[in-house]
Amino acid sequence: MSSSLLLQQVLNGLAIGSVYAIFALGYTLIFSILRIINFTHGAIFTLGAYATYALTGARFGFNGLLANAALPLHLPFVLALIGGALFAAVSGVIVERLAFRPLRTRGSDPLLTLVSSLGVAVALVNVIQYLFGAEAYSYPADPFGQLPSAMNFGTSTEPVLVRTVQVIIFGVSMVVLALLTVLMNATRTGKALRAVAEDTVTASLLGINTDRLILLTFVISGFLGGVSGTLIGLSVGIAGPYFGIAFGLKGLAVIVLGGLGDIPGAVVGGLLIGLAESFVPAQYIAYREAVPFALLFVVLLLRPQGLLGRAVVQKV
């Protein structure tokens, strides 16, 4: 294998993996605090992407209830991105109030939260289709239009190209990882969050407002979902109402591989799966889809707590 091909495959792996990582960061955050899997994350991600689209002033198609609707404003892309992410954060809060908090206060089976979040996800996806139709959308003005569509990491004779938008996604996922790490480890809020994650009851006995912190977790997770939805939408288009749901299954593999609830673990897991997919030899590409899951299966058998996870006795 030539060195330029090797470099190409490594960079491909990081590019694929950073998409999984950025999706998984918001996903894993909820698990790290609440120990539940939030199936609505994919739908919130889609909502964020649609909200950004609307905020840029772009028009919707002719097939939903809001046929041909457009907002009377034309925000620049970065502002629309922030607005879309805020919308996703608010959606996250609403979902927490409606589907998670009632169950938590009744102390019901944690598995049941999985089912209620599933119900909300089904409803949200179909609401999106009902309002905007099933078609794909893309952001009207390309905010990186001035940049070349791919960057060359090789030489001019042996080019090693990576799509610029994927380099940006990689950068953003690293920044988000750094910010989250600082938040969790170096702030009072982070300490309180970790206390809630450790034991909700004890945390509230210590005078920590657990409900407020859980709400904050959903705000951050929703915001990250919105940011990642928009960025991935920029890369591959907003592929209709099932856009985010399509990442759900692999996202689950990513956060478990890295160690459930471990924030750097989500990034490590995402990048590893990306690399594994990238290094599948061309003649075995037909089995590529199984690779992340085979990897997951083997890792779980060898290290049941995931790569970076701590060994804990699971309560189910």
Partner 1 sequence: MSRRLASPVTIVSLIAVLCGALVGHAADPIPIGVSVAQTGPVALAGQEQVLGAQIAEEYFNKRGGVNGRPFKLIFQDAGSDEATAINAYQNQINVAKVVAIIGPSLSQQMFAAGPFAVRAKLPVLGISTTAKGIPQVGEFVSRVSAPVAIVAPNAIKAAMDINKNIKRVVVLYAQNDAFSKSETETFQQAVKDLHLELVTVQTFQTTDTDFTAQVTNTLNAKPDLVIISGLQVDGANLVKQLRELAYKGLIVGGNGLNTTNIIPICKALCDGILVAQAYSPEYKSKINDDFKGIYKDRQKKDPPQFSAQAFTGVQVFVEALGALDKKSPIAKMDLAALRVELNKQLIAGTYDTPLGEISFKASPGGEIVQKQSYVAQIKMDPGGTSGKWVYVK
Partner 2 sequence: MPAFLAAYDFLLVSMVLAAVLALSLYLPLMAGQLSLASPGFYALGGYIAAIISTKVFPPAAGLYPVPLVLLEMAVAAVASGVLGVIVGVPALRLRGIFLALATIAFVEILRVISLNLDVTGGAIGIFGVPQPFASQIHYMSLAIPLLVLCMLFAARLERSRTGRALVALREDELAADAMGVNPTRYKVLAFTVGAMIAGVVGALSAHFINTWNSRQGTFDTGVSLMAFVLIGGSRTFVGPVVGGLVLTALPEALRGIADVGGLPGWLAQFLRDGRLIIFGVMIALGTVFFPHGLITPALLERLGRGRRHRVEAA
Our CB check for partner 1 shows the closer of 134 and 300 to be: 134
16 binds partner 1 (CB under 8 A): yes
Our CB check for partner 2 shows the closer of 198 and 289 to be: 289
239 binds partner 2 (CB under 8 A): no
Q: How far is the CB of 283 from partner 1 (least distance, A)?
A: 8
Residue 278, contacted partner among partner 2, partner 1, none, CB below 5-8 A by kind? partner 1
Q: Using CA atoms, how far apart are residues 84 and 225, in angstroms rounded to an integer?
A: 10
Our CB check for partner 2 shows the closer of 81 and 120 to be: 120
Structure tokens at 112: 């049941």
Q: Using CA atoms, how far apart are residues 284 and 295, in angstroms rounded to an integer?
A: 16
Handedness of CA 202, 206, 207, 210 (dihedral sign): negative
The neighbour count for residue 187, using CB atoms within 10 Å, is 11
Residue 277, contacted partner among partner 2, partner 1, none, CB below 5-8 A by kind? partner 1
Site stretch for partner 1 (CB under 8 A), options 91-99, 157-165, 196-204, 300-308: 157-165
DSSP code, position 73: -
Q: Using CA atoms, how far apart are residues 224 and 85, in angstroms rounded to an integer?
A: 7
Taking CA atoms, 181 is separated from 148, 150, 174, 250, in Å, by 32, 30, 11, 23
Candidate list 69, 73, 186, 246; residue touching partner 1; CB under 8 A: 246
Candidate list 81, 232, 260, 267; residue touching partner 2; CB under 8 A: 260
Give Cα 60 distance to the centre of its chain.
24
240 binds partner 1 (CB under 8 A): yes
Residue 25, contacted partner among partner 2, partner 1, none, CB below 5-8 A by kind? none
Candidate list 134, 178, 297, 310; residue touching partner 2; CB under 8 A: 297
Q: How far is the CB of 161 from partner 1 (least distance, A)?
A: 5
C-alpha torsion 169→253→216→167, nearest 10 = -10
Binding mask 101-140 for partner 2 (x = CB under 8 A): -xx--x-xx-xxxxxxxxxxxxxxxxx--x----------
Count of alpha carbons within 13 Å of 89, Cβ hemisphere only?
A: 15
For residues 253 and 296, is the Cβ–Cβ distance under 8 A? Answer: yes
Candidate list 283, 302, 314, 316; residue touching partner 1; CB under 8 A: 283
Instruction: Kindly give the residue spans of alpha helices, DSSP state H, lying in the chain.
Output: 3-34, 41-55, 77-95, 101-105, 110-132, 164-186, 188-198, 200-205, 210-236, 245-258, 263-278, 291-302
* Site of tokens 């300490």: 191
Q: Using CA atoms, how far apart are residues 278 and 253, in angstroms rounded to an integer?
A: 16
Structure tokens at 213: 């912190």
Residue 239, contacted partner among partner 1, partner 2, none, CB below 5-8 A by kind? partner 1
Candidate list 38, 116, 166, 210; residue touching partner 1; CB under 8 A: 166
237 binds partner 1 (CB under 8 A): yes
Residue 246, contacted partner among partner 2, partner 1, none, CB below 5-8 A by kind? partner 1
Kindly list the residues in this chain that would bind partner 2 in the complex (CB under 8 A).
37, 39, 98-99, 102-103, 106, 108-109, 111-127, 130, 249, 252-253, 256, 260, 286-287, 289-290, 293-294, 296-297, 300-301, 304-306, 314-316
